[in-house]
C-alpha cells in the first residue's frame, strides 16, 4: 500500500488538469469550427496525459540525481527522495511510460493524419515531445536547469498541444488559432512559475537556474502577473475576431478565479506557494471548459 501511494505521488495527478486543458482547448476549437472528431479527441487526451506523467516521472528522477530533491525542499516529498521507490524502478517506469506514450501517439497519428508526409512530421513532433519531457531534468545538460523550462512549456503545452490537436481534427490550420494556443502556453508557464517560486531556495542551492532563481521572487511575481494577463488578452483578441454570440464570452466568468489567485501569489512567500500550483491548473481547466462549451453550442461557422 505504501509503495502504491508513493507511485501515485510520483505521477503527480494534480498536474493532469493542465494536460487535459491544453489538448482539450484544441478539440474545443475544432468543435467551434465544426471539424471535431471524437476519436482524435480521446486519443489526444490520452497521449497528453501520458506525456505529462512521463514528464513528472523524469522530473522526479532528474531532480533526485542532481540533489534538487532534498530535505530542504518545500513541496510534497518525492518517492525517490523518501527512498520508497528505487532509482532502477523509476528508470524502468520512465522507459515503460515512454513506450506506451509512443504507441498512443502513433495510434493517434495513424487514425488522424491524411498523408505520409504529415504523419512523419507529427511523428517527429511527437518524438520531440517525449524527448522534451525526459530532458527537462534528466541527462547531462537538462534544459530545466538552465532557465529554458518556461519557453519549452509555452511551446509544447501551448503551440504544439493546442495547435497540433486542432490540426489533427481539421487537417488544416488557421493562424489565429495561435492566440488560444498562446493563452494555454502562458497559463502553463504560470503553473511552472508557481512551482519554481516554491522551490527557489532549494533550486538555487543545487544549481538549478530557473527563471525564478535568475530574477528573484519579487520579479517572478510580476512575471506571473504578465503571464495571466497575456493569456486573457490572447483569448479576448481571438473572440473579437470570431464573435457571433455573446455566449462566446462565457470564459470571462472564470476571471475572478485568476484575480484571487494573483492576489494570493503576490502576498505569499515561497513556502506558501505549493497550494497555488493546483489552484492555477484547475482554474485553467475550468477556463477551457467554459470557453469550449460556449463555442461548441455557438460555433464560429
DSSP-derived secondary structure for 78-134: PHHHHTSS-HHHHHHHHHHHHHHHHHHHHHHHHHH--SHHHHHHHHHHHHHHHHHHH
pLDDT at 60: 79
> Cα dist. 83→3, 70, 78, 86, 258 in Å?
10, 11, 9, 6, 37
> Mean pLDDT over all residues of the chain?
88
For residue range 98-145, list pLDDT tens digits in order. Answer: 999 999 999 999 999 888 889 999 999 989 988 888 877 776 677 777
Give residue 218's pLDDT. 93
Grid coordinates of 224: 506571473
Q: What is the pLDDT of residue 72?
A: 54
**Contact residues for 237 (Cβ-Cβ < 8 A; gap 6+):** 179
- Tell me the CB-side half-sphere exposure of residue 4, using CA atoms within 13 A: 1
Q: What is the pLDDT of residues 59-108, one digit of tens each?
A: 877 777 665 555 555 555 566 666 677 788 888 888 999 999 999 999 99
The CA distance from 38 to 124, in Å, is: 24
Percentage above 70 pLDDT, the chain: 91
User: 252-285 burial string, b = 16+ CB within 10 Å, else e?
Assistant: eebeebbeebbeebeebebeebbebbbbbbebbb
Measured distance CA(194)–CA(53) in Å, rounded = 19
End-to-end CA, the chain: 52
pTM of the model: 0.89
Measured between alpha carbons, how far is 107 from 47 in angstroms, rounded to an integer?
10
Amino acid at each position: 500500500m505504501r509503495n502504491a501511494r508513493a507511485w501515485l505521488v510520483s505521477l503527480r495527478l494534480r498536474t493532469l488538469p493542465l494536460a487535459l486543458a491544453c489538448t482539450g482547448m484544441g478539440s474545443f476549437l475544432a468543435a467551434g469550427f465544426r471539424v471535431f472528431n471524437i476519436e482524435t479527441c480521446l486519443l489526444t487526451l490520452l497521449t497528453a496525459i501520458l506525456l505529462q506523467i512521463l514528464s513528472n516521472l523524469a522530473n522526479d528522477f532528474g531532480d533526485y540525481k542532481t540533489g534538487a530533491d532534498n530535505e530542504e525542499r518545500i513541496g510534497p516529498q518525492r518517492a525517490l527522495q523518501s527512498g520508497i521507490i528505487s532509482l532502477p524502478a523509476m528508470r524502468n517506469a520512465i522507459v515503460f511510460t515512454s513506450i506506451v506514450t509512443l504507441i498512443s501517439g502513433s495510434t493517434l497519428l495513424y487514425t488522424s493524419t491524411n498523408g505520409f508526409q504529415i504523419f512523419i512530421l507529427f511523428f517527429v513532433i511527437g518524438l520531440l515531445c517525449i524527448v522534451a519531457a525526459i530532458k527537462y531534468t534528466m541527462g547531462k545538460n537538462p534544459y530545466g536547469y538552465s532557465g529554458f523550462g518556461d519557453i519549452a512549456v509555452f511551446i509544447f503545452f501551448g503551440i504544439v498541444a493546442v495547435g497540433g490537436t486542432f490540426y489533427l481534427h481539421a487537417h488544416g490550420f488557421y493562424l489565429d488559432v495561435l492566440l488560444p494556443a498562446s493563452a494555454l502556453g502562458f497559463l502553463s508557464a504560470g503553473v511552472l512559475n508557481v512551482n519554481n517560486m516554491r522551490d527557489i531556495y532549494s533550486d538555487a542551492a543545487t544549481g538549478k537556474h530557473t527563471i525564478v532563481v535568475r530574477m528573484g521572487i519579487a520579479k517572478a511575481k510580476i512575471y506571473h502577473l504578465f503571464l495571466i494577463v497575456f493569456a486573457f488578452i490572447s483569448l479576448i483578441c481571438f473572440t473579437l475576431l470570431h464573435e457571433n454570440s455573446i455566449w462566446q464570452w462565457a470564459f470571462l466568468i472564470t476571471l475572478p478565479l485568476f484575480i484571487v489567485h494573483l492576489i494570493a501569489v503576490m502576498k505569499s512567500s515561497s513556502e506558501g506557494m505549493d497550494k497555488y500550483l493546483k489552484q492555477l491548473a484547475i482554474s485553467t481547466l475550468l477556463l477551457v471548459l467554459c470557453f469550449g462549451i460556449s463555442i461548441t453550442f455557438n460555433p464560429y461557422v
